[in-house]
Amino acid sequence: MSTGGEQRKIGLIGLGLMGRPMGMNLLKAGYSLTVWNRTPSRADELVAAGATLAKTPREVGAACDVLITMVSDPPALESVLWGQDGQKDGALDGLKTGSIYIDSSTVSPALVKKIATACQGRGIRFLDAPVTGGDWGAREGNLVFMIGGDAETLREVEPILKVMGKKLFHLGPNGAGQTIKLAMNAILALQVGAVAEAIGLVTKAGLAGEQLLEVLQASMARSGLIDLKAPLMLKGDYKPSFPLRLMHKDLGLALDLGNQLGVALPTTAAAREVYSYVKGEAKEDLDYSGVMRFWKK
């Protein structure tokens, strides 16, 4: 067992596509892990590997020195932190003074500031630390963390974060991590939408989408995203690595932030309309590259 594992007890709430492999990497590194998920069966793999399953988020908070949350959206995060229907079963009620809380969900900077205020009042140190890298990055421990909060707190939890990620960017005070994440996801959504649109144009003209990709990757338009997503889009393989429903949510959060800051985001707004259409039509959970379906309809 690693020294870090002996020193720190970790709590993890949210065991979906990203949270489960993140938890597995923490266990492999020797950390003591207590977990909770709204659907308890999602914890089975982690429990089999040595994690403890808590009955409530509050129980997770009480069992750990460092709490990590990885949930789908702002309402889910608020429910986990403050509990439901005044039951006092939220994680914040369990966390001890002096503990550290890291949120890796993608939520609004406004919610981050509300959480930061609540943590400050309880003597809890807080980092907003959303990630990018998809489920494969979570499995491989190659996530990129975008972090807002205190530098000293970050230094303290760096060994824990480096079990799950390859790069840590300290971007400023609380809220900075979420702001950069929303801006970046808007770019990813727009890139995938633009590639889908271009493939639609080329194939309708009777040419192969592969020809377009070959030229793109030899040009200034080259990108890692095209390497990863475009071949799957040509095959119609939309198994979720980052679900379209979450990208749709993030585009909405980016537009909300734009409204608050007085920044016009017309291309983001247009992209969200397309993602809304595909999300509404889909019968299954798609990756966000499934926006290609808009041009195949």
CATH code where residue 137 lies: 3.40.50.720
Choose between 26 and 296: higher pLDDT.
26
The predicted pLDDT at position 2 comes to: 41
The predicted pLDDT at position 27 comes to: 98
Count up the domains in the chain and report the number: 2
- In percent, how much of the chain has pLDDT > 70? 98
> Which of these three, 153, 174, 195, is where a domain ends?
174
Q: Are the beta carbons of 45 and 39 closer than 8 angstroms? A: no
Same domain, yes or no: 90 and 203: no
Q: Are the beta carbons of 130 and 185 closer than 8 angstroms? A: no
Same domain, yes or no: 142 and 232: no
The predicted pLDDT at position 285 comes to: 97
Check pLDDT > 50 for residue 248.
yes
Same domain, yes or no: 64 and 167: yes
Residues 6+ apart with CB under 8 A from 86: none
Same domain, yes or no: 184 and 78: no
The predicted pLDDT at position 62 comes to: 98
Same domain, yes or no: 154 and 28: yes
> Which of these three, 114, 145, 174, is where a domain ends?
174
Same domain, yes or no: 91 and 160: yes
Q: pLDDT digits over 188-207, tens only?
A: 999 999 999 999 999 999 99
The predicted pLDDT at position 5 comes to: 40
CA distance 242 to 274: 17
The predicted pLDDT at position 1 comes to: 39
What is the pLDDT averaged over residues 35-47? 97
Mean pLDDT of the residues in the chain: 96
Q: Are the beta carbons of 92 and 124 closer than 8 angstroms? A: yes
Same domain, yes or no: 255 and 155: no
Same domain, yes or no: 82 and 39: yes
The predicted pLDDT at position 3 comes to: 41
Q: pLDDT digits over 59-105, tens only?
A: 999 999 999 999 999 999 999 999 987 788 999 999 999 999 999 99
Q: pLDDT digits over 103-126, tens only?
A: 999 999 999 999 999 999 999 999
Separation in Å, CA 253 to CA 87, 148, 249, 257, 269 = 28, 17, 6, 6, 11
Instruction: State which residues form the domain around 224.
Output: 179-296
Same domain, yes or no: 201 and 141: no
> Which of these three, 174, 204, 219, is where a domain ends?
174
Same domain, yes or no: 222 and 276: yes
**Active site (catalytic) residues:** 181
The predicted pLDDT at position 90 comes to: 97
Same domain, yes or no: 109 and 248: no
| CA-based end-to-end distance of the chain | 53
Q: Which CATH number belongs to the domain containing residue 281 in this structure?
A: 1.10.1040.10
Q: pLDDT digits over 121-179, tens only?
A: 999 999 999 999 999 999 999 999 999 999 999 999 999 999 999 999 999 999 999 99
Same domain, yes or no: 47 and 19: yes
